[in-house]
């Protein structure tokens, strides 16, 4: 079979995920050819290993310089094991793509990720739990759990997270989300590890003061980690998310303290950015769209619709839509909304994907 050819190091994970879901071989070329260190980074190799572990019969060939990868996907089988994440990326980098595969596996996914649990680049654990799992629920994947066993701030990490996906379904359900849900409350989790517990309170106070003008109920929990479970480095972070009455979906934003940043900086920044995110969202935040779009494509052969905000259409989403077309041949169609200003209905027909490993009853 002639592999699908992609170029560049962008969207590395999602391209391999699309390839695994479709069962089509992929060849990714020109991975950082002009870089001082050409080719794959250590975390990308680690991700390839993880893919190899959750599938059966995959073959991965990496060229001598590491600038080309040929991936022939096998069946998604899941299983339980431990994955050690390299210190260059947080666990979120590895957990997120697993959410695309786990529900369509032969066996349940039960993976323990070890390493750094939060970073500036990757989704915080609380974001995955409160931002992404509800999206899965909406698509019919109900029993997903993410347990934080140990926190691990950069640079030394030492964290541990358990991802457990209990529902195995043959395909995601077709969704029609045509309304933008109203927010009934804002919630959040302020965590700190190996620092004074007052840091968590400072995060809460500063976020609350920023959110006050919105006139919404704000309820932020503090999560203080001590002793061995707090990891090897000190750190703190804040995840804010909204709550709505009739839908499990939530808008969510997260950030963590970087060098030289005070808890007040983080609290304010996350607070303001949550307001910004609510304003610029359709039924989902920008950070949840990728997952929803992919689930829509691998759904039943029926047309699914979700409402998106025009401002969410950016270069990365366009590249994703092109990649989806390349792999599955499915095009999205965007239609202007009459009801909501500045919004579009994203519609796509599912490809009728079916979980190949699921036993026929």
Partner 1 sequence: LKHVVVKKVWDINKLIYMNNIDPEDAVSRWKREEEEDTEDEEEEAEEEGDEGDNFFQKKNSGDSDEGIESNKVTLKPSEELKEKWSEGSEAISELKTRFFKSAKQ
| Sole window of 11-19, 108-116, 158-166, 300-308 interacting with partner 1 (rule: CB under 8 A) | 11-19
Beta strands in the chain (DSSP E): 4-7, 26-29, 55-56, 59-62, 69-72, 75-76, 79-84, 109-115, 144-150, 159-165, 176-177, 183-193, 217-225, 235-244, 252-256, 303-309, 333-336, 343-349
Q: Which residue's CB is nearer to partner 1, number 88 or number 201?
A: 88
CA proximity to 178, closest of 339, 333, 313, 341:
339
* Strand partners of residue 59: 72
Q: Which residue's CB is nearer to partner 1, number 61 or number 331?
A: 331
Total site size for partner 1, rule CB under 8 A: 61
Among 45, 106, 233, 272, binds partner 1 (CB under 8 A): 272
**Do residues 274 and 206 touch, judged by C-beta distance below 8 A?**
no
Closest approach, Cβ 107 to partner 1, in A, equals: 27
**Do residues 18 and 323 touch, judged by C-beta distance below 8 A?**
yes
Task: Measure the CA–CA gap between 185 and 207, rounded to whole angstroms.
Answer: 14
Q: Which residue's CB is nearer to partner 1, number 334 or number 357?
A: 334
C-alpha distances (whole Å) from 70 to each of 10, 15, 182, 188, 261 are 16, 12, 45, 42, 42
* Strand partners of residue 78: none
Q: Which residue's CB is nearer to partner 1, number 100 or number 225?
A: 100
* Contact call for residue 273 and partner 1 (CB under 8 A): yes
* Contact call for residue 205 and partner 1 (CB under 8 A): no
* Contact call for residue 339 and partner 1 (CB under 8 A): no
Phi/psi at 249 (nearest 5 deg)?
Answer: -70, 145
Q: Spell out the residues 6+ positions from residue 7 whose beta carbon is closer than 8 angstroms to its own.
A: 28, 29, 30
| Sole window of 51-59, 233-241, 282-290, 349-357 interacting with partner 1 (rule: CB under 8 A) | 282-290
Hey, which residues between 213 and 242 contact partner 1 (CB under 8 A)?
213-218
Phi/psi at 97 (nearest 5 deg)?
Answer: -65, -25
**Do residues 4 and 327 touch, judged by C-beta distance below 8 A?**
yes
* Contact call for residue 30 and partner 1 (CB under 8 A): no
Closest approach, Cβ 220 to partner 1, in A, equals: 13
Task: Measure the CA–CA gap between 140 and 242, rounded to whole angstroms.
Answer: 21
For residue 56, the surrounding DSSP H or E stretch is: strand 55-56
Closest approach, Cβ 354 to partner 1, in A, equals: 26
Hey, which residues between 136 and 195 contact partner 1 (CB under 8 A)?
180, 182-185
Q: Which residue's CB is nearer to partner 1, number 149 or number 313?
A: 313
Chain CA centroid to CA 193, Å = 23
* Contact call for residue 286 and partner 1 (CB under 8 A): yes
| Sole window of 17-25, 157-165, 224-232, 266-274 interacting with partner 1 (rule: CB under 8 A) | 266-274
* Contact call for residue 10 and partner 1 (CB under 8 A): yes
Question: Hey, is 271 helix, strand or coil?
Answer: helix
Among 257, 268, 292, 355, binds partner 1 (CB under 8 A): 268
Q: Which residue's CB is nearer to partner 1, number 163 or number 346?
A: 346
| Sole window of 57-65, 105-113, 140-148, 321-329 interacting with partner 1 (rule: CB under 8 A) | 321-329
Q: Which residue's CB is nearer to partner 1, number 147 or number 325?
A: 325
Closest approach, Cβ 96 to partner 1, in A, equals: 7
* Strand partners of residue 213: none
CA proximity to 254, closest of 86, 96, 51:
96
Binding residues vs partner 1 (CB under 8 A): 9-14, 32, 35, 93, 96, 121-123, 127, 180, 182-185, 210, 212-218, 245, 253-255, 265, 268-270, 272-273, 275-279, 285-287, 290, 310, 313-316, 318-319, 321-322, 325, 331-334, 344
């Amino acid at each position: 079979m002639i592999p699908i050819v992609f170029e560049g190091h962008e969207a590395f994970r999602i391209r391999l995920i699309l390839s695994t879901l479709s069962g089509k071989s992929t060849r990714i070329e020109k991975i950082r050819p002009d870089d001082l260190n050409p080719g794959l980074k250590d975390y990308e190799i680690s991700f390839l290993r993880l893919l190899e572990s959750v599938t059966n019969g995959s073959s991965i060939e990496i060229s001598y310089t590491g600038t080309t990868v040929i991936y022939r996907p096998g069946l998604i089988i899941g299983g339980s094991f431990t994955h050690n994440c390299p210190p260059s990326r947080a666990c979120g980098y590895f957990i997120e793509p697993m959410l695309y595969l786990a529900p369509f596996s032969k066996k349940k996914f039960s993976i323990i990720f070890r390493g750094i649990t939060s970073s500036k680049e990757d989704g915080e654990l609380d974001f995955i739990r409160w931002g992404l799992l509800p999206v899965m629920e909406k698509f019919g994947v109900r029993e997903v759990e993410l347990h934080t066993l140990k926190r691990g701030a950069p640079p030394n990490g030492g964290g541990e997270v358990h991802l457990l996906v209990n529902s195995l379904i043959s395909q995601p359900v077709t969704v029609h989300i045509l309304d933008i849900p109203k927010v009934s409350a804002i919630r959040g989790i302020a965590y700190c590890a190996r620092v004074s517990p007052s840091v968590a309170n400072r995060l809460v106070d500063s976020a609350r003061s920023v959110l006050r003008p919105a006139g919404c109920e704000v309820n932020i929990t503090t999560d203080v980690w001590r002793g061995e479970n707090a990891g090897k480095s000190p750190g703190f972070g804040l995840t804010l998310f909204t709550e709505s009455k009739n839908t499990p979906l939530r808008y969510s934003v997260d950030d963590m303290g970087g060098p030289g940043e005070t808890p007040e900086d983080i609290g304010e920044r996350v607070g303001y950015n949550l307001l910004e995110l609510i304003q610029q969202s359709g039924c989902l935040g920008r950070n949840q769209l990728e997952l929803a779009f992919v689930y829509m494509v691998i759904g039943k052969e029926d047309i699914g619709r979700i409402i998106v905000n025009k401002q969410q259409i950016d270069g990365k989403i366009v590249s994703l839509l092109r990649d989806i077309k390349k792999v599955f041949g499915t095009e999205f169609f965007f239609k202007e909304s009459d009801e909501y200003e500045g919004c579009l209905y994203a519609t796509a027909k599912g490809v009728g994907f079916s979980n190949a490993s699921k036993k026929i009853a």
